[in-house]
């Protein structure tokens, strides 16, 4: 069994290495003809960009993606600089006609994204030519190896029950060097994905056939990410099934998050796109879905006929009615640990790291400041956006709509939710984003704390203060602090993953949706002691 595991790990690492090294494989260049057709397809009017691209990438030389990217970005920069210089020249000459004419030659877009688009056309080599084989060598080997590594645990871990032996002895799960390597890999991955997609263009070639089959178009970096996300959740979901096989709540919950990720977040939007509809994740609620009220989205939805209007109305009802009503009945867990994609990744890929969330009082203070600031930020951004959208202006109270959207997308959407939120799993725990950053979680938290039937019930006086519940709480809640006082746990941040209840050796904790009355039960003297004294002090 152990040998099978080792072989599995080896196969996984091979697939993983092929996937990683794909970045540096293949080569990139254009022929004159390819360039011309690209420029006319994009409708670039500037002669200058044509010249620059001709000089730099129309070549027989086999350029690596790094060389290619820097040449393309330089070409766009030179071209745009050239036209900018003309614009300011005409401006000083007060030659307004010429100046406004000149604007059409400028090319907007982030340099790495422009480079990505060209690289997508200019790429050649193994991954472009043999996508199916490439898929098997990367994802195929990775999945097969990972399953070989995981499945023997069903036997190796022994009888069903809590399987936390050695977590604090292993480098990978005890913030050792393996954990740091994983952190560096994940952070780099997200930086490339968000900010330098052209560097990972080879990954997209692997998925062109699958993408074409699903939505009719070539794969973008987001398609790769979506597929990877689902794959990881499935494989690590298998690990969850084995690890928590004694606990039906965990089995059902894991199935639910995987279902919503694959069907709602991945397949339905892809199929909608193929049907010329706006691709929409019906479970993603504003303000987690922070660009729902952006002008481009509103316009897009309005121009998409009945389905667009349905999505618009659904999105608003989801946030304003469905989400809070469900939180009232079931707690925010129905979203955060049963449906949400971010939560889904945290509960599968992130499960081995859940013990690293900081339980100190200071961390709790930081959490409340940060998460509520992000909520305010997202609301402010949306107010400015909507005001500008309806009034036709470009700013509100001096805040420019474009600026605040860009700032939010960069700081919160990319850095906080992606790079930090997932990248920091191995060291800071698996719910960094959900705990400190998610504005939707903050909103659900208010409902859960003040108007909900959900609580974690403490079983009378049975707590022995061992600390398993607090240690394995991914949201950094000091569960023990309540349990050892005989108090129920009613906290806005609890996502209801149910692990505290699972790891409790004395059967003290139970997630329940009961009557609101008696949900919060402060106690001085614990159950089991003198009845009169309890009455006297617990009133």
Partner 1 sequence: MEHIVIIGNGIAGVTAARHIRKKSDKKITIISGESKYFFSRTALMYVYMGHLKFEHTQPYENWFWKKNNMNLIEGIVTKVDTDKKKLVLKDQTIISYDKLIIATGSKPNKFDWKGQDLKGVMGLYHKQDLESLEKYAPNTKVCQRAVIVGGGLIGIEMAEMLRSRKIPVTFLVRESSFWNGVLPNQESEMINNHILEHHIDLRLNNNLKEIIADENGLVKSIIIEETGEEIPCNVVGLTAGVSPNIDFLNESNIEIHRGVLVNRFLETNIKNVYAIGDCAEQKKAIGQRRPVEAVWYTGRMMGETVAQTICGNKTEYKPGHWFNSAKFLDIEYQTYGWVFSEKNKSENEWHFQWQHPSENKCITIAFDKISFEFLGINTFGIRMRHEIFDKWLSEKKSVEHVLEFLADANFDPEFYKTHEAEIVAKFNQEMDRNIQVKKKSWKRIFSKL
Which is closer to partner 1, CB of 309 or CB of 531? 531
Using DSSP's 3-state secondary structure scheme, residue 13 falls into helix
CB of 175 to partner 1, least distance (A): 11
Strand partners, 396: 399
364's enclosing H/E stretch is helix 361-391
Which is closer to partner 1, CB of 94 or CB of 159? 159
CB of 5 to partner 1, least distance (A): 15
CB of 176 to partner 1, least distance (A): 13
Q: Which residues bind partner 1 (CB under 8 A)?
A: 158-162, 164-170, 246-249, 251-252, 360-361, 457, 459-462, 464-468, 470-471, 480-481, 484, 498, 501-503, 505-507, 510-512, 514-515, 517-518, 521, 524-534
CB of 486 to partner 1, least distance (A): 9
Which is closer to partner 1, CB of 291 or CB of 367? 367
Separation CA 300–CA 302 (nearest Å) = 6
Which is closer to partner 1, CB of 61 or CB of 170? 170
Using DSSP's 3-state secondary structure scheme, residue 290 falls into coil
Which is closer to partner 1, CB of 388 or CB of 497? 497
Are 429 and 354 in contact by the 8 Å Cβ rule? The answer is yes
CB of 172 to partner 1, least distance (A): 12
Which is closer to partner 1, CB of 275 or CB of 361? 361
CB of 368 to partner 1, least distance (A): 17
CB of 337 to partner 1, least distance (A): 13
Separation CA 434–CA 439 (nearest Å) = 9
Separation CA 359–CA 188 (nearest Å) = 27
Separation CA 396–CA 384 (nearest Å) = 6
Q: Any idea of the CA torsion for 292, 297, 303, 305, to the nearest 10 degrees?
A: -30
Separation CA 181–CA 164 (nearest Å) = 22
Are 489 and 470 in contact by the 8 Å Cβ rule? The answer is no
Are 339 and 260 in contact by the 8 Å Cβ rule? The answer is yes
Which is closer to partner 1, CB of 56 or CB of 250? 250
DSSP 81-131: HHHHHHHHHHHHTT-HHHHHHHGGG---S-HHHHHHHHHHHHEESHHHH-H
Using DSSP's 3-state secondary structure scheme, residue 512 falls into strand
Residues in the chain: 539
Which is closer to partner 1, CB of 235 or CB of 508? 508
Which is closer to partner 1, CB of 168 or CB of 222? 168
CB of 460 to partner 1, least distance (A): 3
CB of 208 to partner 1, least distance (A): 42
The gap from C-alpha 115 to its chain's centroid, in whole angstroms, comes to: 24
Task: Name the pairing type of β-strands 27-28 and 123-124.
Answer: antiparallel
Backbone phi, psi, residue 37, to 5°: -70, -35
């Amino acid at each position: 069994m152990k040998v099978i595991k080792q072989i599995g790990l080896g196969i996984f690492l091979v697939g993983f290495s092929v996937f990683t090294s794909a970045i540096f494989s293949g080569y990139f260049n254009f022929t004159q003809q390819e360039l011309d057709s690209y420029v006319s397809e994009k409708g670039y009017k500037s002669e200058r960009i044509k010249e620059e691209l001709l000089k730099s990438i129309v070549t027989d030389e086999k350029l690596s993606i790094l060389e290619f990217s820097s040449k393309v970005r330089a070409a766009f920069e030179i071209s745009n600089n050239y036209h900018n210089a003309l614009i300011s020249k005409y401006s000083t000459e007060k030659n307004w006609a010429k100046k406004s004419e000149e604007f059409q030659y400028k090319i907007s877009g982030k340099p790495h994204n422009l480079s990505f688009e060209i690289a997508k056309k200019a790429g050649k080599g193994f991954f472009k030519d043999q996508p199916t084989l490439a898929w098997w060598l990367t994802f195929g080997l990775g999945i097969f190896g990972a399953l070989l590594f995981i499945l023997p645990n069903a036997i190796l871990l022994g009888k069903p029950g809590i399987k936390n032996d050695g977590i604090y002895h292993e480098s990978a799960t005890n913030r050792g060097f393996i954990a740091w390597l994983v952190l560096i890999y994940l952070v780099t991955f997200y930086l490339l994905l968000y900010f330098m997609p052209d560097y990972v263009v080879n990954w997209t070639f692997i998925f062109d056939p699958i993408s074409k089959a699903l939505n009719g178009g070539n794969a973008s970096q987001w398609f790769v990410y979506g597929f990877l996300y689902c794959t990881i959740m499935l494989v690590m979901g298998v690990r969850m099934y084995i690890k928590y096989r004694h606990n039906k709540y965990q089995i059902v919950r894991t199935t639910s998050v995987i279902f919503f990720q694959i069907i709602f977040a991945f397949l339905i939007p892809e199929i909608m796109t193929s049907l010329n509809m706006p691709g929409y994740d019906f479970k993603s609620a504003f303000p987690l879905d922070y660009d729902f009220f952006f002008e481009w989205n509103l316009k897009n939805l309005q121009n998409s006929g009945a389905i667009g209007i349905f999505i618009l109305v659904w999105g608003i009802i989801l946030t304003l009615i469905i989400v809070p009503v469900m939180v009232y009945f079931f707690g925010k867990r129905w979203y955060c640990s049963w449906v949400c994609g971010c939560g889904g990744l945290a509960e599968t890929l992130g499960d081995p790291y859940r013990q690293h969330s900081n339980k100190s009082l200071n961390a709790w203070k930081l959490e409340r400041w940060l998460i509520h600031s992000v909520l305010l930020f997202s609301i402010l951004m949306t107010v400015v956006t909507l005001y500008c959208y309806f009034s036709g202006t470009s700013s509100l109270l001096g805040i420019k709509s474009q600026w605040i959207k860009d700032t939010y997308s960069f700081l919160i959407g990319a850095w906080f939710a992606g790079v930090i939120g997932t990248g920091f799993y191995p060291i800071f725990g698996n719910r960094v984003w959900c705990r400190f950053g998610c504005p939707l979680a903050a909103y659900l938290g208010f409902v859960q704390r003040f108007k909900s039937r959900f609580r974690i019930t403490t079983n009378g006086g049975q707590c022995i203060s061992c600390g398993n519940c607090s240690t394995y709480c991914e949201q950094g809640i000091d569960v023990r602090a309540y349990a050892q006082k005989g108090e129920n746990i009613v906290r806005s941040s609890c996502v209801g993953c149910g692990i505290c209840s699972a790891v409790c050796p004395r059967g003290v904790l139970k997630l329940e949706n009961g009557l609101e009355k008696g949900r919060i039960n402060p106690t001085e003297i614990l159950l089991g002691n003198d009845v009169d004294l309890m009455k006297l002090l617990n009133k």
